[in-house]
Amino acid sequence: AIRMTQSPSSFSASTGDRVTITCRASQGISSYLAWYQQKPGKAPKLLIYAASTLQSGVPSRFSGSGSGTDFTLTISCLQSEDFATYYCQQYYSYPTFGPGTKVDIK
Amino acid sequence: QVQLQESGPGLVKPSETLSLTCAVSGYSISSGYYWGWIRQPPGKGLEWIGSIYHSGSTYYNPSLKSRVTISVDTSKNQFSLKLSSVTAADTAVYYCARGAMVRGVKRDYFDYWGQGTLVTVSS
């Protein structure tokens, strides 16, 4: 199985901050990476696929980059509705998810 | 708009079989796409269980493969999950979701999700 790790596991931020979350794969996965946002009690929501392609309807303050083993999710200007947990997921092999990064209010 | 809705018992006894159904609306399963199950133990991360194509072709997470069966009923526009010999470790919120297709090629990320259903394994 391809193992996914994320850093940090959690952090506090303020509205308006620029935040970056890192995801690393245990082996090269080309650009077969997706990012999801999950709020408490809700299903995950697809934000980005193919490492950098924004899903339809997702605000442009979200962006993704990377290929191979190292990836980042950036939120350019954090909004109140962005406080949530973020997961990366590779689909190069059978799907596996990262452990999540929780973003809460400072 | 594609919508998915999970249903099934919220409590299952250890060693028994967990059975869930996902009803799809707003899209005909027969038209294509892969359809999957993902679970999330309370307070923990996400684990893909397996996926099925409308033709019935399936593929499973190797760690669960021996206990999992996913089937599809195109006449009812729904697909189902069976997980046998459950233990407390199978307690989780179970989600059904649609696997993406890009230019006709399967891509195993998930663009539409159900709301999830909590299944507790306990005697």
Partners of A1 on chain B (C-beta within 8 Å) are: 62-63
pLDDT at position A102: 98
Chain A residues whose CB is inside 8 A of the B52 CB are: none
CB contact under 8 A, A89 and B115: no
What sign does the CA torsion over B61, B62, B65, B67 have?
Answer: negative
Is B45 part of the contact surface with chain A (CB cutoff 8 Å)? Answer: yes
Contact B59 A99 (CB under 8 A): no
Tell me the pLDDT tens digit for each residue of B100-114.
Answer: 888 888 889 999 999
Per-residue model confidence as pLDDT tens digits over B51-73: 999 889 999 999 999 999 999 99
| Chain A contact for B35 (CB, 8 A cutoff) | no
> Locate tokens 């028994």: which residue?
B16
Dihedral sign, CA of A96, A99, A103, B3?
positive
DSSP B2-15: -EEEEES-SEE-TT
On whether the CB atoms of residues B76 and B54 are closer than 8 A, the answer is no
pLDDT at B84 over 90: yes
Q: What pLDDT does residue B54 have?
A: 86
CA of B97 to nearest chain A CA: how many angstroms apart?
Answer: 10
pLDDT by 10-residue block (mean), chain A, 106 residues: 97 96 98 97 98 97 98 97 97 97 94
Q: How far is A26 from chain B (nearest CA, A)?
A: 17
Task: Please give the pLDDT value at position B3.
Answer: 98
- Does B23 have pLDDT greater than 90? yes
pLDDT value of position A69: 98
Residue B91 has pLDDT above 90, yes or no: yes
Is B73 touching A (CB cutoff 8 A)? no
